[in-house]
Structure 1
Amino acid sequence: MQIVFLGTSAGRPTKARNVTSIALKLPEPSNGFWLIDCGEGTQHRLLGSKLKLNRLERILITHLHGDHIYGLPGLLTSRSYFDGAGPLQIYGPSGLRAYLESVFEHSGVHLEYELDIIEIAEAGLVAEDERFSVETEELEHRLPSYGYRITELAQQGHLDIAKLTQLGVPPGPLYGRLKNGEDITLENGEVIRSSDVVGASLPGRIITILGDTRPCENAVHLAEGADLLVHEATFAAGMEEKAAAYGHSTVVQAAQIASRAGARKLVLTHFSSRFDDEAVEGLIADAQSIFPASAAAYDYLEILVPRPDTNGRLA
């Protein structure tokens, strides 16, 4: 799994940073990706990456401020021009459907694929399939704003091919049965137990991406034990009063959330346009004084999230 930052500025774009959007690249066999937020210009940022819109499977919208959603209509429209663009799900706060349907109605857009808009009615589990679950909690902002906890489900362990060969198990359907936890009996009557030839299950990864927020308990809950926490850092240390007034966090407050949650790594984003790259370096130093595993996002930064091994260590 890999995170690609497509926009890391707060409120408005700068020459170096576009407004908010994050891509989550999924592991094999999917090789697709999700988007978290879609600020204006997101599809232009995608053109500078290896991500293709026909591989987009799901969009998670944190809240309806323009710097997080104004890129949606154009991106969704352009997706119709990509061969093989299948059904697409969009999750977000109440009002997301009315916003998109109004734009489509008045601009005469007709999508060439199925679009499913799911408005979040309550906190908790909002999506689940055979690979991932997505949980959400409401944060504290000027509009309803959500954070998302994306959990990769544990995967079956690897088959010990060398041992299977030694035991005389022929490749083919028997391998699949063993992989699925079924014991088998060979033609000579020997019983091969799945537990003897399949390794321990592989732990999944947890990625938490928060929308705009003041420091709050729901942020800690969503980030608990996360392999990666992405947290906004609109303001510098010492600007707590201004951050609270606008429903945002400082870099130090974000670091405190990561520390309390026991996250493995913190990546800060959504920097105010008042901060240039040199200033951001100073902000990160402040965060690292509280949570050493802190880093600053910038546009096109790619963060690999390794899978923990069976002992909880990062592989």
Structure 2
Amino acid sequence: MSMRATFLGTGGAVPTTARAPSAFLVNRDGERLLFDCGEGTQRQMMRFGTGFGIGHLFVTHLHGDHILGIPGLIQTLDFNEREGPLAIHGPPGSKRHLEKLVHAGGYQPGFHVSVHEVQPGNVAYSADEYDVRAFETEHRTSSVGYVLVEDDRPGRFDREKAEELGVPVGPAFGRLHSGEDVELEDGTVVRSEQVVGDPRPGRKVVYTGDTRPLDTTVEVAEDADLLVHDATFTDEESDRAKSTAHSTAREAARVARDANVRRFALTHISARYAANPNPLLEQAREVYHGDVFVAEDGQKVDVPFPDSEV
């Protein structure tokens, strides 16, 4: 079951020639989920080959660099003869504004677009094997972050033990692995827990959008496989980070460290670092000593299971 994240836009409020406004796409085994939609996101999707087949768009807040790509994306999808529905999820108080963007200029999409508000702590979208949940963030307007959390997976199947217990090779293996007990021809019952280990965690991807560093994020991101956190400024602009309700790279790194995340991406990079984002990375590395990087437009990151060999 593959999972790949693509950074479509990693810039701050002012785009640069190298960084588009915020947009982040997760492709989970062919199902595409888009988080935020800054200006020109549909072009970024073409440029970086993600495809347009998104079913859900999750908006963190209503600032322009996170939503002004919605009208263009909707119309591009329509021009490509989109037929399937699209669900847009946003923070409290966003529904009316997002609906206006969908219909910007009086446009009427030829496919169904639904808009939903989600409260922090609630599930925005529930699928068969994972949920996308909203969580509290702190910005200058109503805002949420999102966490994609997969269900636990079955434990590892001990084939050697099953054969020792007399289980015949074949469908019985699958039944035991799925949690069923199996009765053998001699009447012996082999219980699933005899040959299947403890459940294994699925993957977790956390996307904060714009925010101050919060204990809430630490709790949500605990043991996450990928944390994508606002890291707009360096320490030298810490006062501005506070006044604009953003995070410095060092503050974001503390969240990553305290949450014990496996991989940590700095994003929403201010245009003042267009020529050299290395100071952000250097300050983050002074706090968080794991796998950390400054996200770049077009960068693709595979997200393996926690127990995978990497």
Q: Quick one: which of 126, 130, 135 aligns to 1:137?
A: 135
Amino acid at match of 1:14: T
Residue matched to 1:77: 75
Is contact 1:73–1:100 with CA below 8 Å preserved after alignment? no
Task: Report how many aligned residue pairs link the two structures.
Answer: 306
Q: Deviations over 1:16-72 (max 9, x none)?
A: 111110011213xxx211111010111100002232222x12211111000001111
1:22 aligns with 2:24: yes
In structure 2, C-alpha distance between the alignment counterparts of 1:182 and 1:237, rounded to whole Å: 56
In structure 2, C-alpha distance between the alignment counterparts of 1:127 and 1:308, rounded to whole Å: 23
Q: Quick one: which of 33, 40, 59 aligns to 1:61?
A: 59
Q: Deviations over 1:224-261 (max 9, x none)?
A: 22222111111111211111111111111111222222
Is contact 1:159–1:199 with CA below 8 Å preserved after alignment? yes
Which segment drifts farther, 192-201 or 280-289? 192-201
Residue matched to 2:202: 204
Is contact 1:57–1:89 with CA below 8 Å preserved after alignment? yes
Write the mapping of 1:5-154 to structure 2, written as runs, cut at 5 A.
5-27=7-29, 31-54=30-53, 56-82=54-80, 85-105=83-103, 107-154=105-152
Label 1:199 to 1:261 Cα distance change in 2 as closer, same or farther (>3 A): closer
Label 1:80 to 1:224 Cα distance change in 2 as closer, same or farther (>3 A): same
1:283 aligns with 2:283: no
Q: Secondary structure at the match of 1:53?
A: coil
In structure 2, C-alpha distance between the alignment counterparts of 1:23 and 1:85, rounded to whole Å: 21
Label 1:32 to 1:82 Cα distance change in 2 as closer, same or farther (>3 A): farther
Q: TM-score, normalised by structure 2?
A: 0.88
Amino acid at match of 2:263: K
Label 1:44 to 1:246 Cα distance change in 2 as closer, same or farther (>3 A): same
Structure 1 runs not aligned, ≥5 long: none
Give the C-alpha shift of residue 107 in structure 1. Answer: 3.0
In structure 2, C-alpha distance between the alignment counterparts of 1:106 and 1:135, rounded to whole Å: 28
Label 1:83 to 1:171 Cα distance change in 2 as closer, same or farther (>3 A): farther
Label 1:251 to 1:199 Cα distance change in 2 as closer, same or farther (>3 A): same
Which segment drifts farther, 38-47 or 244-253? 244-253
Which segment drifts farther, 6-15 or 104-113? 104-113
Report percent identity of matched pairs. 36
Give the C-alpha shift of residue 307 in structure 1. Answer: 0.8
Residue matched to 2:299: 301
Q: TM-score, normalised by structure 1?
A: 0.86
RMSD: 2.6
Is contact 2:137–2:144 with CA below 8 Å preserved after alignment? yes
Give the C-alpha shift of residue 158 in structure 1. Answer: 5.3
